[in-house]
Structure 1
Amino acid sequence: MQFKTYLFACLGLIALTSCSKDDSASTPSTPEETMYFPPSDGTNTWETKSIASLGWNQAAVQPLVDYLTLKNTKSFMILVNGRIVMEYYLNGHTATTPWYWASAGKTLTAMTSGIAQQEGLININNKVSDYLGTGWTSIPLAKENLITCKNLLSMTSGLDDTTGDDVSPGNLQYVADAGTRWAYHNVYVKMQDVVAAASGQTWSSYFNTKLRDRIGMTGGAWIEDGSGLSVYWSTTRNMARFGLLSLNKGKWNGTQIVNEAYYNEATSTSQNLNQAYGYLWWLNGKSTYRLPGLQLQFNGTLIPNGPADMFCALGKNDQKIYVIPSKKMVVIRMGEVSDPNNPTFALSGFDNELWGKINALF
């Protein structure tokens, strides 16, 4: 069933590629102004900017909101230069209600891994067993020792992606040598164990101290989802804070949280198997891409209607963080799956449809 779901999704995305627009024609340059960062003092105040002041099309706002409501959206935000331009809570959701990030939270792991590396606790080029010891998989030792932390961050571990969410040793089985096969796999979560082991702290404690609290993501938490994986939950504004940190290449209001060199690596093609994947970030504007659950390569860009320089955190049931450096823009979407008949783990046809609606704003 998973294969069929993704095959239909992929066919739909291929069809959409022929409708791609020139980004420069559909989105204007953002006026130069100082980047704003909301205070991290718990007050949750945030500067805003009006649609009119940007010269956007006010008539396109309500159709976008109607579409979001129809597509089971709970919250939607647009930031430009850090200021809130649109903020909507729909279908009974509120500004203070937490919601899960699903796999969009993978990018939190990528960011925190970069912090651990700059502190000298880990080196992502080292093998995972340097930190977890041998036997963290069920594969032969010589093959296990090929798997580096970078392989986990780039989805190139070579482990079997068809065995489900369980990442205990018995469920981590060999398919190919590390670095020779791209496959979307929850084994990335072992990077959290790597950071915990190297820091001598729990994953949550290290993450909270080094990332969450430093940018004011108050109240967010990792919660087990029943399969043994921890999923991040937070309010929409807290997700937007992380998007803003990402827009600014790991710098928050003058403080470099993660060094820019690592962040540039994380948001660039990380291997030669899937151009559209960095370190747990999805990358738009590449000439080919691969999708979860399939060993197929597709021609065209990931989200044809989206800006070419956009990079994205994409989660199950259409949790989205879109970061667009050329527009100084961050877009957030939280909610239920947009199409209950076609649930997906990352990319869906909703991404391209949504960007068609967002482009109408311009």
Structure 2
Amino acid sequence: MKAILIALLNILFFTSCSNESVLPTPILVEETMYYPTIGSSVWDTKSIQTLGWNQSAVQPLLDYLALKNSKSFIILINGRIVMENYFNGHDATANWYWASAGKTLTSTMTGIAQQENLLNINNKVSQYIGTGWTSAPLAKENLITCKNLLSMNSGLDDSTDAVDPASLIYTADAGTRWAYHNVFVKLQDVVAQASSQTWDNYFNTKLRDKIGMNGSWIQSGDNSVYRSTTRSMARFGLLMLNKGKWNSEQIINENYFTEATNTSQPINQAYGYLWWLNGKSSYHLPQSQLQFSGSIIPNGANDMFMALGKNDQKIYVIPSKKMVVIRMGDAADAVNPALSDFDNVLWQKINALYQ
């Protein structure tokens, strides 16, 4: 049988080569997605040269990252590391805080709890954590659903980051006003109550350990902030690039993932369930009721969705390029918003790698 197969292949080869005007059509095999092994420090790589990228654009990018107080930077393509760089004394084993980029972890855990039928995001928050969690009139408090917290349209006052009941003041009916606010953290209480577990235990069991992240939640005032290595942040980005799937396991329901990474409400087109969305016709920024025209990051891909945290903690996911980009560090500039001109300049320099 083997001899017959070889003979047939030879016939096909010489037939195709006998006429110079007829060339064999190359078969393009798409590269498979790679997932780093749980509990291993080994991670497949892919070189700039193999991708056909512009090697001369690498150093300007690294220089910019170093100049802008970065501690770490990773680019993944199809799950493989293309660039991994550390700056200013940071290294692959060091933990760093995610700041508000960690909101996306809370979004993901809320979706996992829903798929396990522990909660429904359309239910009111008080169904899970009791009434009186705000200082709003009860009728107004009961308008606030878990989805409102995911979408940042609870209607609560955003002039303070505090989330004690006295600070959660009624400003507008839920769903009628978009305002970036730490009140999302109440979803961690919702998940804990619904699962009858601590938030940390449920998170570790259902997400962290399943994809091989390290790290832990650290209490910071009224907020809970996640700290991990840069590679752990990249693992989460890779999970989201693959629509909530890790190898053969669907960690988070794809329908919820789709909702989370698309516009969640009509006021701020550039916001999903605690994810920022690029390429929309308009956007709102934290601590502002102004609407701005155009894409948040003009130099970024239109299909990019992002986890953005204070002092420029970044997860960028670009499905069209099968790319994940991670940046951790101190604030790039003197101001410390989650969104700044740093994002646009950074993407100008990333684009130079392959344009």
TM-score w.r.t. structure 2 length? 0.91
Corresponding residue SS for 1:326: helix
How far is 1:165 from its partner? Answer: 2.1
Residue 268 of structure 1 corresponds to which residue in structure 2? 262
Q: Distance in 2 between matches of 1:310 and 1:339?
A: 23
Segments ≥4 residues shifted beyond 4 Å: none
Residue 91 of structure 1 corresponds to which residue in structure 2? 88
Corresponding residue SS for 2:76: strand
**Could you list the per-position Cα deviations for residues 127-179 of structure 1 after superposition, in whole angstroms to 9, with x for gaps in the alignment?**
000001110101100000000000000000000000x2221111100100000
**Could you list the per-position Cα deviations for residues 12-42 of structure 1 after superposition, in whole angstroms to 9, with x for gaps in the alignment?**
xxxxxxxxxxxxxxxxxx98310000001x2
Residue 26 of structure 1 corresponds to which residue in structure 2? none
Higher relative contact order (CA 8 A, sep 6+): 1
Residue 241 of structure 1 corresponds to which residue in structure 2? 235
Q: Distance in 2 between matches of 1:170 and 1:31?
A: 59
- The code of the aligned residue for 1:156 comes to N
- The code of the aligned residue for 2:340 comes to S
Residue 149 of structure 2 corresponds to which residue in structure 1? 152
- The code of the aligned residue for 1:353 comes to V
Residue 337 of structure 1 corresponds to which residue in structure 2? 331
**Could you list the per-position Cα deviations for residues 65-104 of structure 1 after superposition, in whole angstroms to 9, with x for gaps in the alignment?**
0000000000000000000000000011010000000000
From 79, 82, 93, the equivalent of 2:79 is 82
- The code of the aligned residue for 2:240 comes to S
How far is 1:224 from its partner? Answer: 1.1
**Could you list the per-position Cα deviations for residues 171-220 of structure 1 after superposition, in whole angstroms to 9, with x for gaps in the alignment?**
100100000000000000000000000001110110000000000002x0
Q: Distance in 2 between matches of 1:140 and 1:293?
A: 24
Q: Distance in 2 between matches of 1:159 and 1:67?
A: 39
From 48, 60, 76, the equivalent of 1:51 is 48
How far is 1:289 from its partner? Answer: 0.2
**Could you list the per-position Cα deviations for residues 277-308 of structure 1 after superposition, in whole angstroms to 9, with x for gaps in the alignment?**
00000000000000000000000111000000
Residue 24 of structure 1 corresponds to which residue in structure 2? none
Q: Distance in 2 between matches of 1:31 and 1:67?
A: 35
Q: Distance in 1 between matches of 2:293 and 2:189?
A: 35
Q: Distance in 2 between matches of 1:88 and 1:312?
A: 20
Residue 212 of structure 1 corresponds to which residue in structure 2? 208
Q: Distance in 2 between matches of 1:326 and 1:43?
A: 28
Does 2:296 match 1:296?
no
Corresponding residue SS for 2:75: strand
Does 2:92 match 1:100?
no
Does 2:323 match 1:322?
no
Does 2:69 match 1:38?
no
Q: Distance in 2 between matches of 1:222 and 1:32?
A: 38
- The code of the aligned residue for 1:167 comes to V
> Gaps (5+ residues) in structure 1?
1-29
Q: Distance in 2 between matches of 1:63 and 1:349?
A: 17
Q: Distance in 2 between matches of 1:127 and 1:260?
A: 23
Task: Quote the RMSD (CA, aligned, Å).
Answer: 1.0
Residue 194 of structure 2 corresponds to which residue in structure 1? 198
- The code of the aligned residue for 1:188 comes to F
Q: Distance in 2 between matches of 1:32 and 1:182?
A: 41
Residue 7 of structure 1 corresponds to which residue in structure 2? none
Residue 187 of structure 1 corresponds to which residue in structure 2? 183
From 199, 209, 217, the equivalent of 1:222 is 217
> Gaps (5+ residues) in structure 2?
1-27
- The code of the aligned residue for 1:332 comes to I
Determine which structure has more spread, i.e. the larger CA radius of gyration. 2
How far is 1:343 from its partner? Answer: 1.7
Distance 1:112 1:202, change over 3 A: same
- The code of the aligned residue for 1:338 comes to A
Does 2:108 match 1:111?
yes
Q: Distance in 2 between matches of 1:281 and 1:166?
A: 21
Residue 66 of structure 1 corresponds to which residue in structure 2? 63
